[in-house]
Structure 1
């Protein structure tokens, strides 16, 4: 009604003839006010977006530009090394974007932007240039956090972090700003390009082409599920890892150009949302830790019911899994998890992935026409691909343990959930440690500590705490005694 009144007033003013001098109209005031909001948001946030250059070997299978790992300089790096901040002729043929999120210069980006890197060079605001290294990366979400390389003689870059927002509050039509490094433009001077538009859709599911934007890398796993924000602004090459910002100046998404949607608008852009799951992943990566995802231990076979309305129905429950221990049965239909509606197994996986292993979740199910509620303690999803975590849990006498559900990873071909009701898996054995001398091996199961059953890593940590002498462990290969 207010807008209609403005238009009527403008029409009446025009009928009376043009004014002698230019005068502001209510409609122009509204547009000018929105323009000011938009330009202010861009001015506050563009300094937090950086351009990233990657040096990578032709057949790189491992990321070497990682904190704590020795790196040898390649011929490609030697060619790029002489570039100085004032050298605007610098050219990068392997580039992406990043967003500063931490007070110590931590930069959030897409993992496929830095995967396989032997060296990372960052250009930031005010023509700052510095080398960076990966502190953590998660192949499932395709997220990574890098940080400036520190050392004698290296000046700490002046970087301003951007506050994190909440993508769950976004609705279709919300105005959003995207900032990034399209076509390597920001690698010259560190100034991000800006565009704006509206949120076209939430929780989109698109297919991925591993040859788009990231070479021939394996596509990420989780974005196959309906998690992506769909933007009406096109994201060009180099925009992966850029910022999606709301009008409050908060980061609500991270852009990705890895999506190659079949049957969708080819001009659309996509972004990983900073929602409950996104914030948890970003915080873990910022701390240099592995991102952990929940697992129920159920399956849904395509065509199990033949009814699309029953796509959330369980076709199989693994024995001794969290689902089995929580009294879920074949044929149960999952309605919600902690109040979040579940429509099919895609939304189920997204809902469960928002929680860490060991957390309790409340599930509403439909069984034989009755609505029931169940509480489960979830296990750990076995993520495939290169997991980078420079901050790891402390070792006990040379071993680090993890959830036994990791043994169901396809590359191992095992399924301990069906074999053992409890225990932890040995994830790592340090060379020369008491654990190695005792004969413990990676992927060996530990069921008991001094006759005390252990169910998960937290249980194991409590069981071994303050033990001074030799400790007897019951494993899947028999008893093992570990000396101090």
Structure 2
């Protein structure tokens, strides 16, 4: 046996050159890109930003304040880059007022002194000092900042400054090389490199920024610095990391430059940011839901609810519509829609391509300024049984319907083992429609379901905890 194995190895080695070109033995590993030219091209336009602010006695606020859009998130997921120490968060500071300092990065976008950075770098700062690569220092003016996107625009009184070249993150591909320039831990003009790990990454409580995820080493002090492609163009602003240790762990996130420049344009004009509001609650189109809508594959944002009085409702967008495209932006998944809506001027008419019961329809609407929507809760009334779902149902009164902003619906009062429980329904769910047929009474539930062939999936609209969703219901 050993001899047979040896012969096989010898035969393989002898036979190999007959079908594999000889040059394969001389192959060299693929060369890594040379970043030196990119660094030389951009480092002079990168700045160090230091801030000072007054800290009050007996405050529990850590040195680096968590941006509003990140509050409530697990502290191990997103740490503030400048002075935030979770171990000190609950420890009151004692003694007199003192001046606290923090450090971050930024980059020059115009030769007359406009500088882009993160909102959290300059938040609550009394003074902002910008130091250029030639060591000149300027006190910066805050033109404006946007906590929702974590973008801030500064201005220094200078001329003929070096500037970065703005690129297009839409053209960025997963796996592409990128580099970052910044001041981690105050170490000026530190360069790190890596690749794009993912695009369009949505983080909890932050639906307006489709982050670029990379494995570029980012640490406290890198915030606000540029993310640069191999063409030497800035395609993002380094903003966040995922960490359990307080330092880099291979997961960093950058704000796409298109999002940032949209904010910059508004800040330069008005000093504030106005966002468009469409007025829909959307959910992901799962494989089961795609089948129930007779779609070849999951795509788009499923409208679970069009809020009363919203631009969406006024334009005729309905619950059950699937948004495939918003203006020029193809909506591949539900998280693609909020950023597309958010960057659209409220004065511009928008074109929405939807799929409604198998037919593509174009709807035109004009967005309104973004408002906060309140969710509602439900109560109960006399119950009856649904034999098909095997649940006890209760009709809703007019007051409950008004609170939920729906014209009809029935509530699951009691669950039993059956089709409903196997489909993921729970006690307290409000059933609004089945296969787009309205449920105006408890009797309508079994009436609609009895017309559906066994084995067919149909969309069931459900309101749970005040939020509208669709569930694929497969008849047995």
TM-score range, shorter chain: 0.5 to 0.7
Trace 1:374-413 onto structure 2 (pairs within 5 A). 374-382=363-371, 408=372
2:174 maps to 172
Query: Residue 368 of structure 1: which of 352, 357, 361 is its match?
Result: 357
Residues 266 and 178 of structure 1, relative CA distance in 2, 3 Å threshold:
same
Query: Residue 121 of structure 1: which of 129, 141, 146 is its match?
Result: 129
Displacement of 1:182 in angstroms is: 0.5
2:7 maps to none
Post-superposition CA distance 1:60-112 (Å, at most 9, x none): 99xxxxxxxxxxxx9756xxxxxxxxxxxxxx841111111112111100000
1:356 maps to 345
Contact 1:128 1:157 in 2 (8 A): no
- Normalised TM-score (structure 2): 0.58
**Considering only aligned residues, what root-mean-square deviation do their CA atoms show, in Å?**
3.7
Q: How many residues align?
A: 312
2:191 maps to 194
Contact 1:102 1:286 in 2 (8 A): no
Structure 2, unaligned stretches of length 5 or more? Answer: 1-19, 62-95, 291-297, 375-404, 406-476
Structure 1, unaligned stretches of length 5 or more? Answer: 13-26, 62-73, 78-91, 151-155, 187-191, 208-220, 383-407, 411-417, 419-484
Query: Residue 130 of structure 1: which of 122, 132, 138 is its match?
Result: 138
Contact 1:206 1:260 in 2 (8 A): no
Post-superposition CA distance 1:124-161 (Å, at most 9, x none): 1111112112101111111001112x5xxxxx376312
Structure 2 Cα separation of the partners of residues 6 and 359 of structure 1: 61
Post-superposition CA distance 1:242-289 (Å, at most 9, x none): 011122221110001365599xx93222110113x3332232234453
Residues 409 and 108 of structure 1, relative CA distance in 2, 3 Å threshold:
farther
Residues 142 and 320 of structure 1, relative CA distance in 2, 3 Å threshold:
same
Contact 1:182 1:236 in 2 (8 A): yes
- Normalised TM-score (structure 1): 0.57
1:40 maps to 37
Whether 1:296 aligns to 2:278 is yes
Displacement of 1:43 in angstroms is: 0.3
Trace 1:18-417 onto structure 2 (pairs within 5 A). 31=31, 34-35=33-34, 38-58=35-55, 93-148=101-156, 150=157, 156=158, 159-186=161-188, 192-207=189-204, 222=206, 224=207, 227-257=210-240, 266-275=249-258, 277-287=259-269, 289-300=271-282, 307=289, 312-382=301-371, 408=372
Q: Secondary structure at the match of 1:104?
A: coil
Trace 1:421-436 onto structure 2 (pairs within 5 A). none
Post-superposition CA distance 1:103-122 (Å, at most 9, x none): 21111000000010011112
Flag the structure with higher strand content: 2
